[in-house]
Amino acid sequence: MIDDALFAAVEEAVRAVAAAEILPRWRRLGAGEVKQKTGPRDLVTVADRDAEARLTELLPALLPGSVVLGEEAVHADPGVLKRIGGAEPVWIVDPVDGTANFVAGKEHFATLVALAQGGEVLASWTYAPRLGLMATARRGAGALLDGEPIRTARAAEGEVLRVATSQFAYLDEQERRQFEGLAAEGLHARQCTCAGLDYLEVARGALDAVAFTWEAPWDHAAGLLLVAEAGGGSVTAAGEPFRIGGGNAFPYAVARDGETARRVVELMGRAGER
């Protein structure tokens, strides 16, 4: 399904849409071009909407018979989520991951695209246009950053485990207790600013793990495959790999290896029981 020509065409489409619909609006958003969805921390811009609309046109044309599941389409119609369990190949799209950063004029935002079928992610593209980074992965073929292979970090004696977490502003009291378990000796935890880019940091060895408490597939699908193909692993509180189709037990971690992912989840689980 995913030959070299299709893989390259998707990358070209992602770059082109970012150039046409996203970058011209960076630090140039006008009045009325930023709106709230569910609250003041959940924003959408004209760039999100127009980029998703354009990708929704382009991607199925590259793979006839495929469908699109985009963040903004799901917000408008939650029934669109059912596509992830369908028989057709599905493009999972986050047009601007890190919208709050984009609105604030910061460079840490990305366009995330993943191709999945039957709940399995087959390929992914993570593009950070202001940072000049394009990370890609194909199931069974490894992970690349700007065309060069990348690998997750390896354990080292006396290391400090570096972890990015869900932002505390979005957590309830129980979830905050869980994350407090990462304030342990030998760990350094910081809050996530852009999920897609933190997945990339794990894949390239600059972070050891990410730990999250939500399962929106557009935030996670691309990064999960990227980290897996770079040598990493994921686990949920139920001891299972994270499923993009939902029904996961929280918290879950994606890390440089399965052992590290389990350690992070166990620390959070013990803290949550206190």
Supply the angle between the helices 46-62 and 4-17 in degrees, to the nearest 10.
160
Is 4-149 in CATH node 3.30.540.10? yes
Pull the structure tokens for residue 134. Answer: 């394009």
> Cis omega (within 30 of 0) on the bond before 251?
yes
Pull the structure tokens for residue 52. Answer: 């998703």
pLDDT in tens, 104-142: 999 999 999 999 999 999 999 999 999 999 999 999 999
Say which residue, 241 or 175, is predicted with more confidence.
Answer: 241
Residues paired with 165 in a beta bridge: 191, 211
pLDDT in tens, 237-266: 999 999 999 999 999 999 999 999 999 999
User: CB of 237 within 8 A of CB of 251?
Assistant: yes
Helix (H, G, I), strand (E, B) or coil at 83: helix
Residue 170 confidence (pLDDT): 75
Query: In the chain, which ranges are E strands?
Result: 34-39, 42-45, 67-70, 90-97, 110-117, 120-128, 133-138, 142-145, 148-149, 161-165, 187-191, 209-212, 233-236, 252-255
Residue 46 confidence (pLDDT): 97
Task: Measure Cα distances from 182 to 174, 176, 237, 267 in Å.
Answer: 14, 10, 15, 6
Pull the structure tokens for residue 77. Answer: 């119609």
Residue 177 confidence (pLDDT): 82
User: CB of 171 within 8 A of CB of 213?
Assistant: yes
Amino acid at 130: R
User: CB of 203 within 8 A of CB of 152?
Assistant: yes
Q: Which of 126, 100, 127 is nearest to 19 (CA)?
A: 127
pLDDT for residue 273 is more than 90: no
How many other CB atoms sit within 10 Å of the CB of residue 132?
A: 9
pLDDT for residue 274 is more than 70: no
pLDDT in tens, 200-220: 999 999 999 999 988 999 999
User: CB of 10 within 8 A of CB of 59?
Assistant: yes
Domain boundaries, the chain: 4-149, 161-272
In which order are the strands placed within the sheet that holds 161-165? 187-191, 161-165, 209-212, 252-255, 233-236
* pTM exceeds cut of 0.85: yes
Amino acid at 158: G
Fold classification of 161-272 (topology level): D-Maltodextrin-Binding Protein; domain 2 (3.40.190)
